[in-house]
Structure 1
C-alpha cells in the first residue's frame, strides 16, 4: 500500500505528462484484462477469470514500471483494481446475488476507491517520484532485483488484494441470504473506515504544510494512534469480509482470511518499515512510540517532562 514519502528518480516530468503516462499505462493494463475476460477461454469459474485478468493487468503495469525505471507505476493499482473486479463479478453473475447486497458492496468499494485514488492523485509529485521502499528492496536483492520487483512489489500485493476481495465475489456473484442486519453493520464499518482514513490523511496533510524540520505528528487522530490511516484500511477490508459472511454465514472461517492477511501485512511489514524510517529520520519520534499506541486508539500518555 502506498504511504510515506519517496525518492526522486530521473529527469523532472510535469504532473500533466505524468498523469497522461500513468493513464495510458492503466488503460493498457485494464484493456488487456478486459480483452481476456471478453474474448479469452472460459474457465467456468468467475473468480478464476477475475484472478487471471488481475494478473494480466499487473504484468502490464510491471512492464511499464521497468520501462520508466519506477515501480511506483504500480501505486494506484491498489485502489483502482477492486471496483473493476467487483463490477465485473456483479455484471457477469447476471443477478445471481442479492441485489441490495450487490448495491451496498459496490457503493462501499466505490467510496473507498474514490477516496484513496484522489488522495494519491493530489499528493503525487509525478513520474520522478518513487516510493522509498522499492529501491531499498531492489538493492537488497542484488542480481535478483528483477524477480523481487516483479514478485514482491507487483504480484504479491496483487494477490493480497485479490484475497481481500474474495468475500466480494461471494457477496456479488453467488446466491446468498437476504439482505439483513449484518449487511447494515458492514456498510457502517466500511463508511466509518473510509471516514477515518480521510480524516487522518487530511490532518497529516495540514501538519506537513507547516511542520518544522524534525517535528513529528502527535495530534488529532495521530495522538490516539500512530497509524490511524492503517486502522481505517483494516476496517475497510473487515467490512468486505462482513459482506461475505452476511451472504454465506457458514463460510465465515475462510471469508475472514483476506482481512487477517491485511492485518498481517500492516503489522508485519508496512508499520515496522515506516517506524524504523521515522525513528532514523526524526529521533523525537521515539517519544511518540513510547506515548501513543501503534494501532488501536486510546488517549496518549503524557510526555516524560510533563509527568515530573
Structure 2
C-alpha cells in the first residue's frame, strides 16, 4: 500500500480511465441504438467496438499514456456478449452459463489491472518499446493500430463463438457446455493463482532473483496459459451450440496462441534476460507456456 497521497493519485487516475470508458461505451451504445444498421448483428457489434476503441485511443493520446487501453481487453467481452444476448433469443441456460464464465474472468482480470496499475504516470513498458526510434507519424500509427485497434480485432475474433452461442437457439445444453464452463473457470483460477504468486514474489524478491516457484515452476508464463485457455473455453461454447461450425469456431483461440507465442512472450523473455541473466537457467528448466514438471537443474 502506498501513502495517502499516492492512493489519492491512483484514485484520480482511475477516475480518468473510468471517464474514458463511460464515453467510449456510451458512444458505442448510441451508434447501436440510433445509428444505421449494417444488416448483420455481428457487424453492428464490430462497428460499435471500433468506435469505442477510437474514443479510448483519443484519451490515450490526450494523456500521453496508452495504458488507458489495458482494461479494454477484459471489459469489452461481457459488454459485447450482453448486447448480442439482449437483441437475440438464445437458449437462456446456455446464455447464463456463457455470461457467468465471461464475468468471472472479466472481474478477475480487470481487478488485477486496477490492483497493479500505479496511475497515470505509469505506462506499460511494451508500448514505449513498440514506439521507440520511430518518427512521430509512425509512432502515431503504431499506437493506433498496433496497441489499440489490432488487439480490439483480436478480442472480437475470440468473441465470435460467443456470438454463435448467444444469438442462435442451437443444440440443447449438454456436456460440451459443461466442459466449457469447467475450462473457463479453471482458466480464471489459473490466472488468479499465478498473479497472486507473482504479487507475493514482487513484494519480497531480491535483486536479480527470478520467479520459478509455484505455477511459475511449471510454466514460465502460467498467466498467459490461463488466458489462452479461457479463449478456448469460449470456442467450446460455440462448438456446443453449432457443432457443424467446428472448423472455424477455434480460429480466434488459435489466433490468441499466435499473439502470445509470437509477440507477448518473446518481448517478456527478452526483457527478463536483459535484466536478469540468471533467467536463462529458468528457460533451460521450465516449459515456455503449457505447464509440466520442470527439468532438474
Q: Normalising by the residue count of structure 1, what TM-score does the alignment of the two structures yield?
A: 0.93
Instruction: After TM superposition, give the deviation of residue 137 of structure 1 in Å.
Output: 1.1
Partner of 2:259: 265
Instruction: After TM superposition, give the deviation of residue 140 of structure 1 in Å.
Output: 3.8
Task: Extract unaligned runs of 5+ from structure 1.
Answer: 1-11, 304-308
Cα separation, 1, equivalents of 2:107 and 2:126 = 25
Task: Name the SS for the 2:219 alignment partner.
Answer: coil
Tell whether the 8 Å contact from 1:141 to 1:148 is kept in structure 2 after alignment: no
Task: Name the SS for the 1:43 alignment partner.
Answer: coil
Cα separation, 2, equivalents of 1:148 and 1:131 = 15
Partner of 1:34: 29
Task: Name the SS for the 2:123 alignment partner.
Answer: strand
34-43 or 232-241, larger mean C-alpha shift:
34-43
- Of 52, 57, 61, 1:57 maps to 52
Instruction: After TM superposition, give the deviation of residue 141 of structure 1 in Å.
Output: 3.2
Size of the aligned set, in residue pairs, is 290
Cα separation, 2, equivalents of 1:111 and 1:281 = 34
Deviations 1:223-248 (A, max 9, x none): 01101001100110000000000000
131-140 or 74-83, larger mean C-alpha shift:
131-140
Partner of 2:110: 117
Partner of 1:300: 294
140-149 or 167-176, larger mean C-alpha shift:
140-149
- Of 250, 270, 279, 1:276 maps to 270
- Of 229, 239, 246, 2:233 maps to 239
Instruction: After TM superposition, give the deviation of residue 38 of structure 1 in Å.
Output: 0.7
Tell whether the 8 Å contact from 1:13 to 1:127 is kept in structure 2 after alignment: no
Partner of 2:39: 44
- Of 12, 15, 28, 1:20 maps to 15
Cα separation, 2, equivalents of 1:297 and 1:73 = 31
- Of 64, 67, 71, 1:69 maps to 64
Cα separation, 2, equivalents of 1:13 and 1:50 = 36
139-148 or 115-124, larger mean C-alpha shift:
139-148
- Of 89, 92, 100, 1:107 maps to 100
Instruction: After TM superposition, give the deviation of residue 99 of structure 1 in Å.
Output: 1.2
Partner of 1:136: 129
Instruction: After TM superposition, give the deviation of residue 138 of structure 1 in Å.
Output: 1.3
Deviations 1:161-191 (A, max 9, x none): 0000000000001221110110000000000
Cα separation, 2, equivalents of 1:137 and 1:170 = 35
147-156 or 294-303, larger mean C-alpha shift:
294-303
Task: Extract unaligned runs of 5+ from structure 2.
Answer: 1-6
Tell whether the 8 Å contact from 1:245 to 1:255 is kept in structure 2 after alignment: yes
- Of 76, 82, 89, 1:81 maps to 76
Instruction: After TM superposition, give the deviation of residue 302 of structure 1 in Å.
Output: 2.1
Tell whether the 8 Å contact from 1:163 to 1:258 is kept in structure 2 after alignment: yes
Q: Structure 1 residues 281, 13: closer, same or farther in 2, change over 3 A? A: farther
4+ aligned runs moved over 2 Å, structure 1: 140-143
Instruction: After TM superposition, give the deviation of residue 139 of structure 1 in Å.
Output: 1.9
Partner of 2:186: 192
